[in-house]
């Protein structure tokens, strides 16, 4: 297995990269700024300079990767096209490139509540709408996928247990980015994670369960 990570310099993406490296899975990281990436990511990661908006470059960027993990996301800004471009068009470009390269598994990080149009997060230029359309594009792509919808992301890890549920059953809660990264990496090898949407949060009162059981419990 060789893992291609898009959004690798992001707060979640960098944790995905570190988790893959810790499991001795070779990583090819798509980054916009090589110097920034060098200062953030472990040294034994292959860096590819690129942008998900540049569709024609992505097949080459994927190289000999066999799986893809996408944790890109538009940063809050005054540009009303930001989420449309990054969270929809960019992700579609990556899905198309992955199809061309017969990628074995595509893990996409989106968000809780992507199905809720009247959600405050959509005040950020309809970001949930575009994420939902990207999810649907992946589901129809023919690729094997896992869509990971986390609650509010936190940089600090904690000892809370992960709660994993089916699409559109969780609407609040938070989760450390480290746990999101682990769920994404577990999805690559867990047969019951295939072709599912999983919603995740973490709670202190939840009973810890093995990932196989968590994924298997999702319809």
With beta carbons less than 8 A apart as the criterion, state whether 152 and 174 touch. yes
Chain positions contacting ligand NAP, by CB under 6 A: 6-7, 9-13, 32-33, 51-53, 71-73, 75, 86, 90, 109, 111, 150, 152-153, 177
The least distance separating ligand NAP from the CB of residue 73, rounded to whole angstroms, comes to: 3
Tokens found for residue 49 = 């300079």
The least distance separating ligand NAP from the CB of residue 152, rounded to whole angstroms, comes to: 4
**List 77, 111, 171, 192, catalytic entry:** 111
Among 73, 97, 98, smallest CA distance to 85 is for 73
The residue at minimum Cβ distance from ligand NAP is 10
The least distance separating ligand NAP from the CB of residue 180, rounded to whole angstroms, comes to: 8
What does residue 145 show for φ and ψ, rounded to 5 degrees? Answer: -140, 160
Angle, to 10 degrees, between the axis of helix 13-22 and the axis of helix 177-189? 50
**Smaller CB separation from ligand NAP, 33 or 213:** 33
**Smaller CB separation from ligand NAP, 72 or 133:** 72
With beta carbons less than 8 A apart as the criterion, state whether 147 and 108 touch. yes
**Smaller CB separation from ligand NAP, 35 or 207:** 35
Tokens found for residue 50 = 């690129």
111 is catalytic: yes
Query: Measured over all CA atoms, what is the biggest interatomic distance in the chain, rounded to whole angstroms?
Result: 47
Q: Which residues does the annotation mark as catalytic?
A: 111
């Amino acid at each position: 297995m060789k893992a291609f990570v898009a959004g690798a310099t992001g707060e979640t993406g960098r944790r995905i990269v570190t988790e893959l490296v810790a499991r001795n899975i070779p990583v090819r990281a798509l980054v916009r700024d090589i110097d920034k990436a060098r200062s953030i990511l472990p040294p034994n990661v292959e860096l590819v300079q690129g942008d998900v908006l540049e569709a024609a470059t992505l097949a080459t960027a994927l190289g000999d990767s066999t799986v893809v993990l996408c944790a890109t996301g538009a940063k809050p800004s005054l540009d009303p096209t930001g989420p449309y471009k990054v969270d929809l068009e960019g992700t579609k470009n990556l899905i198309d490139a992955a199809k061309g390269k017969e990628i074995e598994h595509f893990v996409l990080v989106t968000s809780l509540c992507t199905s809720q149009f009247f959600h405050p997060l959509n005040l950020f230029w309809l970001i949930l709408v575009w994420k939902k359309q990207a999810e649907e594009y992946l589901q129809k792509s023919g690729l094997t996928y896992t869509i990971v919808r986390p609650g509010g992301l936190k940089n600090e890890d904690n000892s809370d247990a992960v709660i994993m549920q089916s699409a559109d059953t969780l609407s609040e809660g938070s989760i450390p980015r480290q746990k999101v990264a682990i769920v994404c990496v577990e999805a690559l090898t867990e047969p019951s994670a295939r072709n599912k949407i999983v919603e995740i949060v973490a709670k202190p009162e939840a009973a810890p369960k093995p990932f196989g059981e968590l994924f298997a419990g999702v319809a």
